[in-house]
């Protein structure tokens, strides 16, 4: 296996900025040919992914967080190059989805992640595309996009990881009020004042601390579309408690559909995050790109996340 490893040293909490030598040694000991590249910014990762495709390598491994993974996925979409991840970011939701060990203050977890990666299989994964921008995990409109816009540059997020993100979110969230939304999909439409709408490709949400839908699969060609009605943080905490306890699917004020195409309009225009990064404004057109990405996935996760053998 010939692989490029793209390291984003700016990703994740400070304790996650570790050398990759041991993790890369695990791969080389298992016969991989590894070439290390550094990308300081998200745009660098996307460019490096396209260069990896042009070079004819077998895999691109991102040593970074979900933002770097999203950029890499965009650069690899439709190509034969498989995406892998060594989690060094803040939340590392994709790594959590596929069962990789995560970084922590007393050790990076990268060696264990590299061992799991070396034994992974290659699977076809759906991608989302919103106004031409690819995403792997979700698109969000409402409270989470508001928080992402406020917290994304936060030093708390950079210094402490998910706990810092959560603390900064509690500071940002009280100023938010619900948004008048219209969501239109495949044969359905909803118009509500909503606290949050999520178009999800995966099971986990909120930095990986809650499981939005344990039936979601990443190769079924469909999004899980959720709308949570509400006005302020109080409604948001009610919804979060139901999600945490698995009681949200049929709860009052929760609306759910599955769809291939979604249009989202708001009044007034509102920010949209893709995989946690605030990148767009409504209105947006979202479509699923079935099997657009090849990904390295450990076998236990493949059995849980995929419908196709």
What average pLDDT is seen over the chain? 88
Q: Which neighbouring-strand residues pair with 296?
A: 122
| pLDDT at residue 18 greater than cutoff 70 | no
Express each pLDDT in 272-289 by its tens digit. 999 989 999 999 999 999
Instruction: Report pLDDT for 14.
Output: 47
Q: Which neighbouring-strand residues pair with 59?
A: 3, 82
Grade residue 57 by pLDDT with cuts at 50, 70 and 90.
very high
b vs e for 122-150, b when ≥16 Cβ sit within 10 Å of the residue's Cβ?
A: bbebbbbbbeebbbbbbbbbbbbbbbbbb
Estimate to the nearest angstrom the gap between the alpha carbon of 208 and the chain centroid.
Answer: 9
> Where, residue-wise, is CATH 3.40.50.10330 in the chain?
2-119
CATH of 133-290, one of 2.60.40.420, 1.10.630.10, 3.30.43.10, 2.60.200.40: 2.60.200.40
pTM, entire model: 0.92
Grade residue 201 by pLDDT with cuts at 50, 70 and 90.
very high
The predicted model gives 120-147 an average pLDDT of: 95
Q: Which residues have a Cβ under 8 Å from the Cβ of 25 and sit 6 or more positions away?
A: none
Grade residue 15 by pLDDT with cuts at 50, 70 and 90.
very low
b vs e for 83-120, b when ≥16 Cβ sit within 10 Å of the residue's Cβ?
A: bbbbbbbbbbbbbbbbbbbbbeeeebbbbebbbbbbeb
| pLDDT at residue 183 greater than cutoff 60 | yes
Domain 2-119 class in CATH: alpha beta
> Where, residue-wise, is CATH 2.60.200.40 in the chain?
133-290
Instruction: Report pLDDT for 16.
Output: 44
| pLDDT at residue 291 greater than cutoff 90 | yes
């Amino acid at each position: 296996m010939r692989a490029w490893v793209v390291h984003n040293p700016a990703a994740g909490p400070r304790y996650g900025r570790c050398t990759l030598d041991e993790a890369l040694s695990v791969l080389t000991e298992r016969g991989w040919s590894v070439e290390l590249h550094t990308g300081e910014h998200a745009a660098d990762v996307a460019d490096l992914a396209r260069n990896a495709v042009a070079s004819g390598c077998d895999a691109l491994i991102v040593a970074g967080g979900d933002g770097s993974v999203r950029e890499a996925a965009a650069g690899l979409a439709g190509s034969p190059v498989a995406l892998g991840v060594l989690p060094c970011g803040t939340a590392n939701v994709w790594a959590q989805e596929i069962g990789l060990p995560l970084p922590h203050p007393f050790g990076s977890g990268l060696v264990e992640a590299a061992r799991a990666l070396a034994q992974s299989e290659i699977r076809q994964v759906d991608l989302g595309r919103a106004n031409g921008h690819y995403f792997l995990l979700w698109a969000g409109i409402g409270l989470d996009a508001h928080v992402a816009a406020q917290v994304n540059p936060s030093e708390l997020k950079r210094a402490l990881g998910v706990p810092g993100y959560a603390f900064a979110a509690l500071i940002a969230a009280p100023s938010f009020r619900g948004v008048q939304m219209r969501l239109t999909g495949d044969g359905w439409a909803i118009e509500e004042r909503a606290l949050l709408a999520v178009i999800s490709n995966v099971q986990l949400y909120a930095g990986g601390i809650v499981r939005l839908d344990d039936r979601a699969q990443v190769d079924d060609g469909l999004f899980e579309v959720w709308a949570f009605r509400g006005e302020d943080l109080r409604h948001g905490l009610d919804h979060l408690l139901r999600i945490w306890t698995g009681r949200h699917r049929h709860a009052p004020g929760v609306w759910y559909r599955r769809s291939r195409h979604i249009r989202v309009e708001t009044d007034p225009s509102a920010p949209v995050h893709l995989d946690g990064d605030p990148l767009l404004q409504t209105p947006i057109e979202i479509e699923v790109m079935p099997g657009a990405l090849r990904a390295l996935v450990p076998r236990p996760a493949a059995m849980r996340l995929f419908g196709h053998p």
